[in-house]
């Protein structure tokens, strides 16, 4: 069957708008929300706008490159796909589609523990190693088996998410009765009836529940017992000793995700993390936390070159990527930006999101008079006084 021509998407916001029309409300709301008042969710994006760029002219802009490295791996641009739970509900087999798009583009893909497609599913449909994100769970047995499965799937790094010992509340998920597969209620059926292409694709796949968990965790043989498992499984008493233990068990490259304080960044460097991600989980955990981009300078000061620093939360454009890199991050991640693309147009939509961000990064770099993404620095920016001090109102 010939594929419908893709609409013209010129920016990430175009993808978001189309995604909103195409995807059941329950899953759109799941992605497009933050915890409680959503203050941090909003500020993650708006704080980027306080930083201005320094335009340069009459600089030879030929032969530009966005190529770089993240944890020693070559990347076409320093923008990885962040772990996003339930990606396979935004579009059928969504994790496989996103991983394939990332591989073709030459950027890292991070698979979430809470994915619909399993580690094995994604490995089977890709040819290069991807990264695997783990939540810190109490069950040692399950954790060890997750590491073994990730190793068998040839994952080249583990991303340990440390900011979810307890779950931040997103009001809409409760009101919508979020679940995977979606529960059939009068409301959800009425909504899905308006999302026919999404539904038809979903009927064609068998992957509609949590592929890494169902059938693997004790006592979770069918999806209905999963919510109980999630509530009970997360390790409330997580500490640095435990994170160091994961490093030992895994024995490979390890990235600590969810760092928002200079002290915590230092601790991560001390346990020998290969990288940290300055992240507030896209504003989904501690509402009222400072935006990631505003925390970046203090964290850079605290760790210097002791550990590679990455950043996520709020990136919606190549300009945002450039600002994070110029403030010292070696790599960035996008969560919602590619999820919008996936929901709008599947694998091609993820590719489109990456193309948009790449082009914006490349052109912005050029107009700042830079030809190599690795040379970006504070000299490219006008950062308002007090930006690095969250007590100062911008
Ligand atoms: C819908 C959704 C689901 C997410 N699921 C996970 C997850 O399973 N594990 C995780 O470590 N982070 C998860 N995150 C956080 C992302 O990895 C990332 O930190 C965040 O999306 C970055 O912010 P951005 O969406 O503004 O780019 C999720 C984010 C979204 C939007």
3-state secondary structure of 213: coil
Mutation pick for ligand 1 pocket among 29, 84, 178 (CB with most ligand atoms within 8 Å): 84
Element of type H or E holding 110: strand 110-111
- Is 80's C-beta closer than 6 angstroms to any atom of ligand 1? no
Does residue 279 contact residue 311 with C-beta atoms inside 8 Å? Answer: yes
CA dist 192 → 89, 302, 363 (Å): 12, 49, 40
Q: What residue's CA is closest to ligand 1, atom 19?
A: 281
Beta-carbon contacts of residue 206 (< 8 Å; ≥ 6 apart): none
A 10 A CB-CB count for 189 gives: 11
- φ, ψ of residue 214 to 5 degrees: the values are -60, 125
- Is 380's C-beta closer than 6 angstroms to any atom of ligand 1? no
Structure-block tokens of residue 358: 């790449």
- Is 296's C-beta closer than 6 angstroms to any atom of ligand 1? no
pLDDT of 217? 85
3-state secondary structure of 309: strand
pLDDT of 216? 87
Give the residue among 319, 353, 307 at the shortest CA–CA distance from 334. Answer: 353
Residue 7, beta-bridge partner list? none
- Is 126's C-beta closer than 6 angstroms to any atom of ligand 1? no
- Is 161's C-beta closer than 6 angstroms to any atom of ligand 1? yes
Does residue 318 contact residue 367 with C-beta atoms inside 8 Å? Answer: no
Instruction: Give the chain's residues under pLDDT 50.
Output: none
Q: What residue's CA is closest to ligand 1, atom 20?
A: 282
Which residue among 125, 171, 216, 281 is the active-site one?
281
3-state secondary structure of 306: coil
200 alpha carbon – ligand 1 mean position (Å)? 26
95 alpha carbon – ligand 1 mean position (Å)? 13
Is 379 known to be catalytic? no
368 alpha carbon – ligand 1 mean position (Å)? 30
Does residue 287 contact residue 168 with C-beta atoms inside 8 Å? Answer: yes
Give the residue among 86, 91, 268 at the shortest CA–CA distance from 163. Answer: 268
- Is 336's C-beta closer than 6 angstroms to any atom of ligand 1? yes
pLDDT of 225? 65
216 alpha carbon – ligand 1 mean position (Å)? 23
pLDDT of 224? 65
- Is 334's C-beta closer than 6 angstroms to any atom of ligand 1? yes
CA dist 303 → 234, 284, 386 (Å): 28, 25, 20
pLDDT of 23? 98
3-state secondary structure of 157: strand
184 alpha carbon – ligand 1 mean position (Å)? 26
């Amino acid at each position: 069957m010939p594929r419908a021509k893709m609409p013209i998407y010129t920016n990430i916001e175009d993808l978001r708008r189309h995604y909103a029309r195409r995807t059941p409300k329950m899953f759109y709301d799941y992605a497009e929300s933050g915890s409680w008042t959503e203050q941090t969710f909003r500020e993650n994006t708006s704080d980027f706008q306080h930083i201005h760029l320094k335009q340069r002219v009459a600089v030879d802009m030929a032969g530009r490159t966005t190529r770089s490295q993240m944890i020693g791996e070559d990347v076409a641009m320093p923008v990885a796909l962040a772990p996003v739970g339930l990606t396979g509900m935004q579009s059928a087999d969504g994790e496989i589609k996103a991983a394939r798009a990332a591989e073709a583009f030459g950027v890292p893909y991070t698979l979430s523990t809470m994915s619909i497609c399993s580690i094995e599913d994604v490995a089977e449909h890709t040819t290069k190693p991807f990264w695997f994100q783990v939540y810190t769970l109490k069950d040692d047995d399950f954790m060890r088996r997750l590491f073994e499965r990730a190793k068998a799937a040839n994952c080249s790094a583990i991303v340990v998410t440390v900011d979810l010992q307890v779950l931040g509340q997103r009001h809409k998920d409760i009101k919508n009765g979020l679940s995977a597969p979606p529960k059939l209620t009068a409301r959800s059926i009425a909504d899905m009836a308006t999302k026919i292409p999404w539904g038809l694709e979903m009927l064609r796949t068998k992957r509609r529940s949590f592929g890494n968990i169902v059938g693997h965790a004790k006592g979770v043989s069918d999806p209905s017992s999963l919510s109980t498992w999630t509530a009970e499984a997360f390790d409330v008493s997580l500490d640095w000793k435990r994170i160091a233990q994961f490093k030992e068990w895994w024995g490979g490259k390890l990235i600590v995700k969810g760092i928002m304080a200079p002290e915590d960044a230092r601790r991560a460097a001390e346990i020998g993390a290969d990288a940290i991600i300055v992240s507030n989980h896209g504003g989904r955990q501690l509402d009222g936390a400072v935006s990631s981009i505003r925390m970046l300078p203090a964290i850079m000061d605290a760790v210097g070159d002791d550990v590679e620093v990455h950043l996520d939360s709020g990136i919606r454009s190549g300009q945002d990527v450039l600002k994070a890199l110029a403030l010292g991050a070696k790599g960035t991640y996008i969560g919602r930006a590619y999820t919008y693309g996936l929901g709008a147009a599947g694998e091609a939509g993820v590719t489109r999101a990456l193309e948009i961000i790449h082009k914006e990064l490349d052109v912005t770099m050029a107009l700042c008079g830079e030809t190599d993404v690795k040379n970006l620095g504070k000299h490219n920016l006008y950062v308002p006084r007090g930006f690095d001090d969250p007590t100062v109102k911008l």
